Each structure stands twice: as C-alpha cells, then as structure tokens.
Amino acid sequence: MKHVERIEPLVKQETMRPGLLSRSRKLVFASMCVAVFASACGGGDGESTSPTDTPTPPTTRTEGPASTGGTTSAGDTPSTGGTTSAGGTSSTGGTTSAGGATPANPAYKLIYDINYESGTIQSGYPGLVTTHATAADASYIVNEARSGKHAVAHKVTLDNDGYFSDGSWRSETADLGIKEPNLFQIGDHHRYEFSILLKDWEPWVSGMTGSAGDIIWQAKQSTAGPSFYVMTKRNSIALRDTIRGTQFEVLSDFRPYINKWIDIRIDVRWEERATGYYKVSIKLPGEQDYKLMVDEENIITFDTENTSAYQGYIKWGLYRPASFIANDDPATRIIYHDDLRLYDLASAK
C-alpha cells in the first residue's frame, strides 16, 4: 500500500468547465484538473460531445458475433470458432493452474465476460462502443490471448490523425449499451477484472515527459471525468483517484512483464459519501493468486458534488493525454486487453 507522489503538472492544459465545480472542493478539483488532464474535469477534452458520453438505455443483447459497429482491421482474421455465452458465463480457456488465466468465479453474478472469443472487436456484444479512431489498426483482434484464442489490441500513434478521437490521442472501447446492468450507479458493489499485455512497450527513460501516464483502463462517470483510472506511469502501473487527487502504485516496475499478461482486479463499492471503498489487486505472470496492492476504505468513489453524473461506465484501451513526440515520448504504443469481466459482488452466493 504505497502512496505515489502526486502527478506532475502537464505541459498541456485544457479548458475546464468551472460551472460544474462548487463549494469547498472547487479549488482542489480545479488544481487536479490542470494537473491531470482535462477529461478528468468533464468535457474539457471534447469528450462530452462524444457518443460514448451519452449513456444509452441498456439494450437487449443478441447472441452471436456482432454485426454492427465493430470493424476488424486488415490482417485480422475473425475466428468463427469462438463462442459467446449467454450472459457471458463462459470463461473460455481459463485454467486454475499456477499463472493461468483466472476462470470466472461462480460465487458472484457475472454481468459480462468480454473475452473476444467471437473474433471481433465487439466480442459479441452489439452495445459495446468500440474506438472512434479511424485508423484501420486503431483497434483489432490479435491471436495472442490471455484466455482462449483472441484478445483485443488498441494502438495510438501520436501526431497521426488516424489515432485521434474524441478530442485526444486515444483509441478506447467502452462498455456502454450492453444489456446487463453494467453501468455503475451509487450503491453498486462491483468487481472488475481485466488482463493487459504491454506490446513491445518502450520503457521510460529520462527525458520523456510521459510520466503523467498513458491511461489503459478507466471507471468514468458519465458527463464527467473518471472516478479513477489505471495508467502506466514511467515504468510503473498506478491507479489514479481523481476524486481525491491521489494515486497509488499497483506495480512498481512493469519492465520484466512487457509482452506478458498481467491480471488486475478492482473491487469497488460506488458511494457518493465516505462509505465507499476500492481494493486493487494484481496477478503477475507465473503467480497463482492476486496480491492486494491498494486498499482504500471509507472514501467517496462517486463524485456527485462536483459533477452532474448519476452513472458511469468502463473504458479500456489507450488514452495518451500526457505524451508528446516533442518530448521524446514513444510515438506508438499498443496494448492488448482480454478477459474483461464485471461481477455483481452484492450477489455473493
């Protein structure tokens, strides 16, 4: 449980929406917005006009590979062998062996299991909002999986318009619009699991400014910024709590694990008062069990004081608000995600 120093101020500062800020936290929040990035402040990066920020009513999920929205980039061969289970109850390829992928836990209700075994970037969930970046390879299916045969890749090349979307250098997928009650609201008690692989990730060396982080997973309040997010920061992985303006180390040094799968689990109770919590655990290659790295209790996890949000959603991929070619940050980064699961912990059997 180690606090990491506060994030460094960014070179890039964007417009905030001061109208959303109020009372005593206004100053703290304002300084946080400048220090982190504009999307943490809601709309400053243009996200507010994005379809991904307009929660849509849950729709009925149909089985079978998605036929809309998802595009498969050149070079990817969608598999017809993958199956998508009703309600996402499968855990294709999961094993219980040491270091293996974690199988779905039958003790909790599984709200979704996005495992990409459909061979499409929508993983058989028509409501999944895939990247808005236009490059053919901004998001694509890979045959290097945490479980099963497939995972998804997101790629961002700085200063290339094909990887610019929703106001930033980003390529992300959001879990909006799938039928199950995945959008988080106050009072929800959720477990999020996901596996990542930093593909040929170029380590940080002195001189790069990307120290403020490339964001790889977000719990985002609709119409506002994220409650918290996971990022690579220099050569570490950290969780940034934007409500409190703090961050925590999840993995001190990812370099031994480049091109290997890392499993992350986040348990959270979404609360607008100081009755919430989150616990962040990590399972490294070769390890059998998750290790608890962040354990924060009696905290606000859903900010209703400074935002108008009443629900939120999850995004994964790559968002690089603090990386700049002019500052020697790597031009291109690629990350794989697999086995994105959401459980209802309130359903414990």
Residue ranges binding Ca ion (CB under 5 A): 115-116, 145, 147-148, 150, 338
Least CB distance from residue 103 to Ca ion, whole Å? 13
* 130/323 with CB nearer Ca ion: 130
Least CB distance from residue 114 to Ca ion, whole Å? 9
> Ramachandran region of residue 22, left (φ > 0), alpha (ψ -120 to 50) or beta?
beta
Phi, psi of 252 (to 5 degrees): -70, -30
Least CB distance from residue 257 to Ca ion, whole Å? 18
Spatial neighbors of 19 by CB under 8 A, at least 6 apart, are none
3-state class percentages of the chain: helix first, strand second, coil last, to nearest 5: 10, 35, 55
Least CB distance from residue 149 to Ca ion, whole Å? 7
How many other C-beta atoms can be found within 10 angstroms of the C-beta atom of residue 107? 10
Least CB distance from residue 148 to Ca ion, whole Å? 4
Least CB distance from residue 232 to Ca ion, whole Å? 22
* 20/128 with CB nearer Ca ion: 128
Residue type, 212: A
* 164/336 with CB nearer Ca ion: 336
* 148/167 with CB nearer Ca ion: 148
Choose among 261, 216, 231: nearest CA to 102.
261
* 150/189 with CB nearer Ca ion: 150
Residue type, 53: D
* 233/265 with CB nearer Ca ion: 265
